[in-house]
Amino acid sequence: MPSIADEARIAFDNLADRATSIFHPTLRLGVAGLSRAGKTVFITALVHNLLHGGRVPLFEAQASGRIARSFLEEQPDVAVPRFGYEEHVRTLVERRIWPDSTRAISELRLTIKYESASLLSRVLPAGRLSLDIVDYPGEWLLDLPLIDKDFATFSREAIERTRLPQRAEAAAPFLARLDALDPAAAADETAAQELSRAFAAYLRACREDRSALSTLPPGRFLMPGDLEGSPALTFAPLPVNAGRSYPRNSFAGLFAARYEGYKSVVAKPFFREHFARLDRQILLIDALQAINAGPAAVRDLETALTEIFLCFRPGRASWLGGFLTRRIDRILVAATKADHLHRESHARLETIVRRLVEEAAARAKFRGASVETLALASVRATREATVPDGGSRLPVIVGVPMAGETIGTERFDGTRETAIFPGDLPANPAKLFADPDDASQNGHPLNFVRFRPPKLERTSEGVQLSLPHIRLDRALQFLVGDRLA
């Protein structure tokens, strides 16, 4: 995807990183999550459990007592905002609410001092690994395939998506404006801004819970930040002919130039300065929300994963090549909010995610990296129980729903603990990928509510325990366990 000049800059950056790593070993971990997947909570819980010796029995280095100390250090990239770990912990532990999602890139360095598992290596000084956690919105990944697409290709694909049945209602206002505009006509800035705002509103509507769609590029239209109102974010797809030349002052000419500007100031710098420097990646997805929204949302999530897998530079570089070109050699795709289901459904959720990833990787012709799937809860907000149900026992989850959450006619006040039967996932995940136009497939609705973070337990000595989780230790072992061996 990148140009020769971009590749040269990437090689220079990686050479500098590798030279530093000789004396200070580091692992750059990319953490991305599609909308409302819980990326901020994942990073906070991961760091909290490492700093406070959390209960992570499947994270071998910590479970075996080989980690001597974990601590935060100054991050290496001074121009990147620091991940607000301390504030997020206070929000979770003291206020018992979920922290706001991060809307831009941030970074945090966690250094681990450890003893090697090798008897031979134990005669040497303790090892040291700095985990550089790079936090960025998953929507930004969906911008990277745009680098290889011209404006006509982007427009054709975007307009085709607007005409899908599951997007028709959200796209109607945008399509009404689009149908009234002649791409070859002289551009008018007011009309350009109105069409761009309508396109952005359509993308935001597709992201809402009711639709829960995932394939929504350009990502910065959903989170513009300091680019809001700039020409780079003031364009929209147009029904242009790929073989036709349009005047520079036409809508088509103007929008094509701004689209190229978007790639230059948004997509390429992100790829070059951050994404191309990653060693490992975890991608968090809210599969439960997509399942609740129906087969169209599940299929759209699979499409988004396909686009994302096209972005990765997977595989193992040679010893010499590794100094110039970084390769992501491990990728974890994790479905979050496993605590919203009884453990009897966790295996089914993992099967669904595995199906999503396998299909996406096959469609993207993805090869070369180790890919794993997992169902986890970064912070476990519920516990499991059973309640009488006729002559049997019904598996339920118990927690405190957040104020304003509802099931049927019941509205929760944010203080009362409640037992909820969350529903069952299908044994055959193929039912979730049914044709969206098939009226006989209505999805598998879950009793899905958002719970408050748990009240942390204390030991008999009054020491507050680490944040509880489900399978965070498995994620840690896959992502960094081999580097602590």
pLDDT tens, position by position, 272-322: 888 888 999 999 999 999 998 888 999 999 999 998 888 875 444 433 334
Q: What angle do CA 294, 297, 303 make, to 5 degrees?
A: 145
pLDDT tens, position by position, 311-361: 875 444 433 334 335 678 899 999 999 999 999 899 999 999 999 999 888
Residue count of the chain: 485
Sorted by sequence, the CB contacts under 8 Å of residue 231 that are 6+ apart come out as 258, 261
Kindly state the tokens that stand for 288. Answer: 């439960």
Q: Render each residue's pLDDT in the chain as its tens digit; 485 residues.
A: 556 555 555 555 655 555 555 557 999 999 999 878 999 999 999 999 999 989 999 999 999 999 999 999 999 899 999 999 999 999 999 999 999 887 789 999 999 999 987 755 555 556 899 999 999 988 888 899 899 899 999 999 999 999 999 999 999 999 999 999 999 999 999 999 999 999 999 999 999 877 888 999 999 999 888 889 999 999 999 999 988 899 999 999 999 999 999 999 999 999 888 888 899 999 999 999 999 888 899 999 999 999 888 887 544 443 333 433 567 889 999 999 999 999 989 999 999 999 999 988 888 777 778 899 999 999 999 999 999 888 888 999 999 999 999 888 889 999 999 999 988 888 888 888 876 554 444 445 677 889 999 988 776 555 567 899 999 999 999 999 999 98
Sorted by sequence, the CB contacts under 8 Å of residue 367 that are 6+ apart come out as 314, 315
Q: Where in the chain is the domain with CATH 3.40.50.300?
A: 4-141+270-379+470-484
Sorted by sequence, the CB contacts under 8 Å of residue 158 that are 6+ apart come out as 217, 237
Cis check for the bond before 422: say yes or no (omega within 30 of 0): no
What is Dmax (Cα atoms) for the chain?
A: 76
Kindly state the tokens that stand for 393. Answer: 């026992």
CATH number listed for the domain at residues 4-141+270-379+470-484? 3.40.50.300
At residue 116, the 3 state secondary structure works out as coil
CA distance 284 to 232: 28
Give kind and range of the element (H or E) at residue 374: strand 370-375
Kindly state the tokens that stand for 167. Answer: 């997007």
